[in-house]
Amino acid sequence: MELQKNKITENSPKEIAFLRTRGFGSLISPNMLRLSPCEALYLCKRLGIKVFSNKKSIPSSSLEKLLSKKDKYLPLRYRCFEHFRAGGRICREHTMPSPYLRVYSRGVGREEERAQTIVRACNEGWKASRQNILREIAVAHFMRKELVLAFPAGKEITFLKVSKISFD
């Protein structure tokens, strides 16, 4: 994997096939796979796959710091991403820095179906005001997904499914 301009790509056909069969990355072209920051960190930490920049290997801790400079939500999102991937779920991030992950059902090949859930990673300072909760619900409804709020604390992550109901 190679890091260029804060984007992580893979161009080896053998590695592309390996990663795609496991639900990682998105094909930009037949010979180019783009990985999200969470995917790259997960592969570095869990499988020991190396990321190179200017032909130098980057350790996973340095990679996380480097990617976090442009994305303040990355540490929170990664905690949730790691939890879901360990449970066999495929997750996708937005191309722009955001606190959201799209989470697919378990199993290989589940990306053929539309993700049903959007997970919003909330930091300790996130205020659960009526306005904030309604905004998050509106985002999820716009995307036609169920909203789950994730609160990572220590080694635990608490997940809350949130929805809006009308009795009219």
**Percent of the chain with pLDDT strictly greater than 70:** 96
Separation between Cα atoms, residue 23 and residue 110, nearest integer Å: 9
Beta carbons of 15 and 21 less than 8 angstroms apart: no
- Say which residues have a Cβ less than 8 Å from residue 43's Cβ, sequence separation at least 6: 1, 19, 24, 35, 49
pLDDT tens track for 79-125: 999 998 888 888 888 878 888 898 887 765 555 677 888 999 988 88
Q: What is the pLDDT of residue 5?
A: 76
| pLDDT band, very low/low/confident/very high, at 127 (cuts 50, 70, 90) | confident
pLDDT tens track for 138-168: 988 888 889 999 998 888 899 999 887 788 7
DSSP letter (8 states) at residue 113: S
Domains of the chain by start residue, with CATH: 2-68 (3.40.1170.20), 89-162 (3.40.1350.10)
Place of tokens 């997750």: 91
Q: What is the pLDDT of residue 48?
A: 84
- Residue 70 Cα distances to 56, 79, 98, angstroms: 21, 17, 11
32 φ, ψ to 5°? -140, 125
pLDDT tens track for 21-63: 888 888 888 888 898 889 989 988 888 888 888 888 888 778 8
Q: What is the pLDDT of residue 149?
A: 92
